[in-house]
Amino acid sequence: MGWGPAMIVFPAIDLLDGNCVRLVEGKREAMTVYSASPVEMAQRWEAAGASWVHVVDLNAAFGFGDNREIVRQICQQTRLKVQLGGGLRTTNAVQKVRELGVSRAVVGTAAVKRPDWIAELVSEFGPDAVAAALDVRNGLVAVRGWEEQERIPPLELAQRWADQGLRHLIYTDVRRDGKLVGPDVEGATRIARLTGLGVTVSGGIGSMEDLRAVFAVAPLLEGVIIGKALYEGLIDLTEALALARRSETAD
């Protein structure tokens, strides 16, 4: 099922040591720094027409420091709705980023280890303030900054989260992330179709053609996250947003 009239296009901002960076398959040794001013980058995406931005605090995800002050500045110095992931492993951590102005907190590792935690978060903050990250590598769920894998099948985990009241899920094929090889649309739509969750697809978007493939199944998917392709100039965000609107009218 779809969640609203238009698919959300999320430009991605990955934060590491105060910089806007991109990794390949989540590996720090395969890192490119694109900007020393993430706030200016967020303002650029806002000027291009974005209404949401997907921010990942890689320091928090990897367990050494955080970039919460930059997140606060993005919330205060733009009108963007901020979807934030990275290191959110307790209810208190989610509460703290909500206080920064974050619209939606993305939980991963802790929700994989304790699927019933989702019910607590939904009850505390509401179903639209929480998303769960379903990160998949070789058919298994990846956790802890994608450095470890769990044995639970992705679909089974997604269904357990849905049963706990989850509404929003971010599906990433880790092997494709940062490689511009196209997203796993089939995997994402399967999860959406079988669970009824609002699924955002991430990982591998490299061209407008990739976006057309995502928008072609727009009634099933809720959103798409674009990272490296924006920073490498392979996709123009304003054009991507216009394509999303045209796909909506075509329905």
The verdict on residue 2 lying in a domain is no
Which pLDDT score is estimated for 140? Answer: 82
pLDDT tens string 95-117: 999 999 999 999 988 998 899 99
The verdict on residue 126 lying in a domain is yes
Number of domains in the chain: 1
For residue 55, what is the domain's CATH number? 3.20.20.70
More confident residue, 247 or 60: 60
Which pLDDT score is estimated for 249? Answer: 63
The verdict on residue 49 lying in a domain is yes
Q: Is the pLDDT of residue 15 over 90?
A: yes
Q: Is the pLDDT of residue 1 over 70?
A: no
Which pLDDT score is estimated for 146? Answer: 47
Alpha-carbon distances, residue 192 vs 16, 100, 102, 175 (angstroms): 31, 30, 25, 20
The verdict on residue 3 lying in a domain is no
Predicted confidence band of residue 3 (pLDDT cuts 50, 70, 90): very low
Q: What is the domain extent for residue 156? A: 8-250
The verdict on residue 115 lying in a domain is yes
The verdict on residue 98 lying in a domain is yes
Residues with a known catalytic role: 14, 135
The verdict on residue 92 lying in a domain is yes
Q: Is the pLDDT of residue 178 over 90?
A: no
Q: Is the pLDDT of residue 171 over 80?
A: yes
The verdict on residue 1 lying in a domain is no
Q: Is the pLDDT of residue 68 over 80?
A: yes
Cα(240)–Cα(226) distance, integer angstroms: 10
